Homo-oligomer: A and B are copies of this chain.
Amino acid sequence: MKTRRSDRLIDMTNYLMERPHTLISLTFFADRYESAKSSISEDLAIVKRTFKNRGIGILETIPGAAGGARFIPSIDEGEAREFISDMVVEMSAKTRLLPGGYVYLSDLLGRPDVLRQVGRVIARQYIDKQIDAVMTVATKGVPIAQSVSEYLNVPFVIVRRDSKITEGATVSVNYVSGSSERIEKMELSKRSLKQGSHVLVVDDFMKGGGTVNGMKSMIEEFDSELVGITVFAEGSFAGQRMVEDYTSLLRVNQINSEDKTIQVDPGNYLEKVFDN
């Protein structure tokens, strides 16, 4: 069916949003809408302008009859700042305090509205980088990895502390837990990551950095390359962290179990991403 511009713009927006980082050809859209390529080009120019003005992301357009468009999700500075401020407030709630000075996070990391923004914010940071896979460790890192993977449109892989019969052959590495200084083991299914991949590591919480450091070793075992490390929250840590170069959206500075207070600040994300 031949379509009107308004219908095309709505369907195109949906189509592009569901397939980030994927080049969609002019020919495809021209066939889908039974419209001339020149009309599709005009449509894409309008979508591009609106995506930019509204901070939705970048629509890369490749000109010419063999061209097309690729949607790169992003988030503008204002929206990223607002999200991180909201999270600072949420995280500072006394009710999150658990025995032993731990912070309850599972509700936030199960909320689709929070996860969407976490995904957009982290994907924004790596907008110019080649990433082939997102890696995390089970279980609490998984929702973050999945959200980032959606916005980057690359698969995510889950490293496990316990091997499962349903993973097939695995590669295992030992690592030193930063907080407890114990030697632990983590495993990743051999078939889950190709050699030579560019890997982004994400996790929910980092203290000493032992787990993240374990994932770095794992990436080496797969002859792959670490592109970056971003965690939802970092905690304060007295000793020397095992990982120096990382990004955090939030920083849990002080936990006072007596007063039942948690003091949370924005992490280094905003300065790293927007202050350059």
Residues of chain A having any CB pair with chain B under 8 Å: 5-7, 9-11, 13-14, 17-19, 46-47, 49-51, 53-54, 56, 95, 98-100, 102-107, 110-113, 115-116, 138-140, 142-143, 146-147, 149-150, 153-158, 160, 165-168, 189, 191-192, 205
Contacts and interface: CB of A to CB of B under 8 A. Distances in A.
B191 A102 contact: no
Contacts of A98: 165-168
Contacts of A160: 139
B165 A100 contact: yes
Given A9-B9, A11-B50, A112-B154, 17 more contacts: A6-B9, A6-B46, A10-B47, A13-B13, A13-B14, A13-B17, A19-B113, A95-B191, A98-B166, A98-B168, A106-B166, A106-B192, A107-B155, A110-B192, A113-B153, A138-B139, A142-B143
A199 to B, nearest CB: 13
Contact of A53 (B7, B50, B105): B7
A124 to B, nearest CB: 15
A168 B6 contact: no
Q: Report copies per complex.
A: 2
* Closest 8 A/B residue pairs (Cβ): A10-B50, A13-B13, A138-B139, A110-B155, A112-B150, A142-B142, A7-B50, A98-B168
Contacts of A13: 9-10, 13-14, 17
A102 B104 CA distance: 35
Nearest to A53: B7
A102 B164 CA distance: 11
A28 B199 CA distance: 40
Nearest to A104: B168
Contacts of A18: 116
30 contacts: A6-B6, A10-B10, A10-B13, A10-B46, A10-B47, A10-B50, A10-B51, A13-B17, A14-B51, A14-B54, A14-B56, A18-B116, A95-B191, A98-B165, A98-B166, A98-B167, A103-B166, A104-B166, A105-B166, A106-B167, A106-B192, A110-B158, A110-B192, A112-B150, A113-B153, A115-B146, A139-B139, A139-B142, A140-B166, A143-B146
A28 to B, nearest CB: 14
A205 B139 CA distance: 18
A173 B221 CA distance: 39
A17 to B, nearest CB: 6
A143 B150 CA distance: 11
Contact of A107 (B14, B149, B191): B191
A96 to B, nearest CB: 9
Contacts of A56: 11, 14
